[in-house]
Amino acid sequence: MRFDTRLVHVGQQPVPGTGAVVPPIHLSTTYDRTAQDPPRYFYARGEQPNREALEECLAALEDARHATVYTSGQAAATSALSVVPAGRLVLASDDVYGGTHQLLAAAAERGVTVRQVDLADPAERDRALAGCGRELAMVWLETPTNPLLKVADIAAVADLAHRHGALVVVDNTLAGPVLQRPLAHGADITLYSTTKSVAGHLDVLGGALVYQDEELHRRFLAYRTVAGNAPGGFDCYLTHRGLKTLSLRTARQVENTRAVVAVLLAEPSVDRVSYPGLPAHPQHAVAARQMTAPGALAAFEYRGDPAKLLDRVRLFTAAVSLGGVRSLIECPALMTHRPVPPEVRRRLGLTDRLIRISPGIEDPADLVEDLVTALRDGA
């Protein structure tokens, strides 16, 4: 099956006996062992039918052997970091999601060495990886990054990291599996906050890891069962339902983002528009090579008061998250990246006037009108 067919069919076979084309939602937390031949399900923290169906579909999207899903993207990231022992090194992108900054800090507190560099810059990437020895356990790559939209060359990072025997984790939340498939470029683990574009309707939390390795699978399943961060049947059902329209939603969101970006470039109150689809973007060529489209997220510097801009928009909702059917707008310094120390934000170039937009699936003309009106009313 090709990609779009897998979205609809994998893990969604008609139910034997009734022929229902939508599998039932299993809400039971425990299972009668005598009713199973052979026994398969014991307790929902360990095994769950809706969870397994979702995992089967997510793995198929990257031609992977395995996927494990979690209660949130943060829970998935915590599980990925759990395989790094104290005393080993994690080399991470400098510009990452605010919650990832906090998780890396927590890993450092338990004895993991954490170093963050600009992995989108080839010279800095090569220098950093060349300076690592066998202590390097993992390279944590976010591409495109959140919120500055820097793009790293996954294949180049994977090649260098694997020379040290390190795992490569790619947080693919911003691009999603329609636009980018990290395992095909050499990554060992793809990470998703499925809360975002995978589920796509802003109504369910979730996270996922997708990978090939059998030993990682054993460790991730054991850690999830003990930690208790496995999602229930209803959440898995909602996420799986959202997957069916992922390609359709992504295409419209990319179209809408292109339309909004084109207008932002001409607005006098806007500086430094960041979007991988622009030829002026520093990693435009890398994005064109490893992504099927430049994404559905953009960022720009606003010359006015960001808080007032968030108050003036009507169709863009001032809220965190991204990748949903409804358009969202935020100021990272005030919202998603507020926990990041100001000196770190300044070093990264994440200014107090940076605005991030995540266009949804509305009519692009309405989105353009809403944003332009809000920008010009504050001029």
**Domain locations in the chain as residue ranges:** 3-241, 246-377
196 flagged as catalytic = yes
Architecture of domain 3-241: 3-Layer(aba) Sandwich (3.40)
Contact 128, 80 (CB under 8 A): no
- Please give the full DSSP string across 1-48, using - where no structure is assigned: --HHHHHHHTT-PPPTTT--SSPPP---SB--GGG-SS----BTTT--
Catalytic site residue from 171, 188, 235, 370 = 171
Catalytic site residue from 150, 181, 196, 258 = 196
Residue range 158-191, pLDDT digits in tens = 999 999 999 999 999 999 999 999 999 999 999 9
Q: Pull the structure tokens for residue 57.
A: 């579909």
Residue range 318-376, pLDDT digits in tens = 999 999 999 999 999 999 888 888 888 888 888 999 999 999 999 999 999 999 999 99
Contact 297, 358 (CB under 8 A): yes
- Please give the full DSSP string across 73-140, using - where no structure is assigned: HHHHHHHHHTTSPTT-EEEEESS--HHHHHHHHHHHHTT-EEEEE-TTSHHHHHHHHHT--TTEEEEE
Catalytic site residue from 45, 115, 241, 353 = 45
97 flagged as catalytic = yes
Give pLDDT, residue 379.
62
Q: Pull the structure tokens for residue 29.
A: 């937390």
Fill in the DSSP letter of residue 312. H
Architecture of domain 246-377: Alpha-Beta Complex (3.90)
Give pLDDT, residue 46.
94
- Amino acid at the residue 38: P
223 flagged as catalytic = no
Catalytic site residue from 31, 41, 70, 97 = 97
The reply to whether domains 3-241 and 246-377 share a CATH topology is no
Contact 290, 164 (CB under 8 A): no
Residue 378 pLDDT > 80, yes or no?
no
Q: Which of 65-74, 121-130, 333-342 has the lowest mean pLDDT?
A: 333-342
Give pLDDT, residue 61.
98
Contact 291, 257 (CB under 8 A): no
43 flagged as catalytic = no
